[in-house]
């Protein structure tokens, strides 16, 4: 891109925000005026998906352009691999100022990270949650981890993490008007403990989130782990019981509070970087009792994988537009590399969606891939190790749940994903085509968990009994950080990265 104007991008990342928690996607009674404003000024993408529906793995793909099984973060509390580079490091090494304020969650330590900036990101603006906690007294640290604190009028916006994250973002924008930059603003709220000033939670004192029919999903012919998960929430009840109405005033209040904080960022962008590319998305959604499940976990349902994605680019992206084309978080890195005028490294596993930001009718992919490893390594709960690989082409979704029942849904006729069609003869050809594409992706991305057992399923008895799998060697391409790999058979510099073993 050749231009006299500075090249500027702001990426705003939400936490635990499902697509229909924004009014621009669905009017539920939740208040999101600033995100709705952003959507009216740019493109709302209606078919955007994450790469794994849990915090750290989702973020790992957003910031590295690599799937969790490649970058090493296949569960919370696992660090990025030593040879993995974030978009901040890639752009910084090419002369672009990069600032990250907010939740990182990729140091491999705990929820709050280390207080030390990741490579490439400006240390003056780095503000992970450990830095926030270090500013609080011991008493206020304890208060900051309890939802009930939100009922105390003394817990003002100035005490909230999200407000302090915004302060740094606004300061960076005010001081970076004439330079190239990438600014990331990553909020933690409305994630538990969902703290916000009391006036926000009071907005939702008697609010009930409108439920969908799948809150009474009988989970017929669904994976057994989902039955166990659902039963764990019923405290001795049965699946026939209807879940309680969702009345999480703190959760929804902090969601609207963060929308207000995003409004502060958007206002400063209009003052300091009016032509900047602005992207909003969320790491994952939450169930809110859909499929009788809560929070997020080892499942590929729309509520936790289908995320909001909005882009505003004055003079380039049309205003108040809607795209029905598929979008994946894996493509963000390639998009940013191309935006700043750099070659997209071959090592990235996504592609650039920059053409989509100019024309919402353009498509850059025919399918998205989603996976699951485990929830987190330092916790014995949440289903532990439940390997899943998923492909969705926009209408059909296939989930291979390695150790339990697989799932296949027609999102057009069954948007609530109530009817598992995995054994449907009528859909076998479509299912098998998606299965072949899924297995090919696992091979091409060098998924360390790939192998025969993902192919030979009860519904796919024609899959060949072959020990060698695809029988190929797949070495890494060069991305400028490591020397070219050497051929195992010769010890000489690698020629073709993919070849017969």
* 235 a catalytic residue: no
Distance CA 255, CA 487 (A): 52
**DSSP state letters, 406-455:** -EEEETTT-TT--S--TT-GGGHHHHHHHHHHHHHHHHHTT-TT-SHHHH
The count of other CB atoms within 10 Å of the CB of residue 495 is 10
Burial of 114 per CB tally in 10 Å (0-12, 13-18, 19+) = middle
Which distant-in-sequence residues (6+ apart) come within 8 Å of 400 by Cβ?
Answer: 388, 389, 390, 406, 435, 438, 454, 457
For residue 100, the cross-strand partners are: 184
163 φ/ψ angles, rounded to the nearest 5 degrees: -65, -40
Strands 43-49 and 306-312: antiparallel
Strands 407-410 and 472-474: unpaired
Distance CA 387, CA 306 (A): 19
List C-alpha distances in Å: 187 to 55, 164, 195, 282, 455: 12, 10, 12, 9, 39
Neighbouring C-alpha atoms within 13 Å toward the C-beta of 435: 25
The count of other CB atoms within 10 Å of the CB of residue 267 is 13
Instruction: Please identify which of the residues 105, 191, 284, 291 carries the catalytic annotation.
Output: 105
Instruction: Using the structure block, give the residue that is written with the tokens 């998009």.
Output: 335
List C-alpha distances in Å: 270 to 6, 42, 131, 267, 315: 14, 14, 28, 5, 14
| Helix, strand and coil percent figures for the chain, each rounded to 5 | 30, 15, 50
* 435 a catalytic residue: no
Cβ–Cβ < 8 Å for 282, 15: yes
Distance CA 166, CA 143 (A): 21
Distance CA 238, CA 216 (A): 11
- Select from 1, 42, 487 the least CA-distant residue to 269: 42
> Which two three-digit tokens encode residue 197?
């000033």
Instruction: Please identify which of the residues 55, 98, 196, 390 carries the catalytic annotation.
Output: 55
Residue numbers annotated as active site: 55, 105
């Amino acid at each position: 891109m050749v231009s006299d104007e500075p090249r500027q991008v702001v990426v705003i990342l939400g936490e635990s925000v499902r697509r229909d928690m924004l009014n621009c996607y669905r009017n539920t009674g939740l208040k999101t005026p600033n995100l709705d404003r952003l959507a009216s000024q740019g493109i709302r993408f209606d078919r955007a998906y994450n790469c794994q529906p849990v915090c750290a793995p989702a973020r790992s793909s957003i910031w590295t352009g690599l799937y969790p099984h490649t970058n090493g973060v296949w569960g919370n509390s696992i660090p990025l691999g030593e040879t993995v580079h974030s978009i901040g490091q890639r752009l910084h090494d090419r002369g672009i100022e990069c600032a990250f304020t907010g939740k990182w969650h990729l140091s491999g330590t705990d929820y709050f990270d280390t207080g030390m900036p990741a490579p490439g990101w400006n240390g003056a603006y780095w503000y992970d949650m450990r830095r926030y906690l270090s500013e609080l007294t011991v008493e206020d640290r304890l208060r900051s981890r309890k939802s009930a604190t939100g009922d105390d009028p003394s817990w003002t916006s100035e005490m909230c993490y999200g407000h302090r994250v915004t302060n740094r973002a606004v300061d960076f924008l005010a001081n970076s008007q004439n330079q190239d930059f990438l600014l990331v603003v990553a909020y933690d709220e409305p994630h538990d403990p969902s703290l916000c000033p009391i006036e926000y939670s009071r907005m939702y004192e008697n609010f009930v989130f409108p439920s969908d029919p799948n809150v009474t999903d009988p989970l017929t012919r669904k994976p057994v782990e989902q039955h166990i998960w659902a039963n764990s929430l019923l405290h001795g009840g049965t699946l026939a019981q209807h879940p309680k109405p969702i009345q999480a005033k703190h959760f929804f209040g902090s969601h609207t509070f963060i929308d207000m904080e995003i409004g502060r960022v958007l206002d400063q962008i209009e003052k300091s970087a009016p032509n900047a590319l602005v992207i909003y998305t969320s790491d994952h959604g939450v169930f809110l009792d859909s499929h009788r499940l809560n929070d997020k976990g080892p499942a590929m349902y729309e509520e936790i994988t289908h995320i909001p994605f909005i882009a505003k680019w004055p003079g380039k992206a049309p205003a108040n537009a809607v795209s029905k084309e598929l979008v994946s978080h894996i493509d963000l890195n390639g998009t940013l590399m191309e935006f700043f005028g750099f070659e997209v490294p071959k090592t990235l596993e996504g592609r650039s969606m920059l053409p989509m930001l100019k024309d919402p009718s353009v498509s850059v992919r025919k399918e998205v891939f989603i996976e699951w490893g485990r929830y987190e390594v330092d916790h014995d709960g949440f289903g532990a190790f439940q390997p899943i690989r998923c492909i969705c082409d926009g209408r059909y979704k296939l989930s291979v749940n390695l150790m339990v029942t697989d799932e296949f849904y027609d999102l057009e006729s069954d948007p609530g994903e109530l009817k598992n069609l995995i054994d449907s003869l009528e859909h076998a050809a479509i299912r098998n085509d998606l299965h072949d594409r899924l297995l090919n992706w696992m091979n091409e991305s060098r998924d360390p968990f790939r192998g025969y057992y993902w192919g030979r399923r009860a519904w796919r008895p024609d899959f060949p009994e072959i020990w060698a799998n695809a029988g190929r060697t797949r070495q890494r391409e060069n991305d400028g950080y490591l020397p070219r790999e050497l051929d195992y058979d010769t010890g000489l510099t690698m020629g073709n990265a993919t070849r017969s073993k």
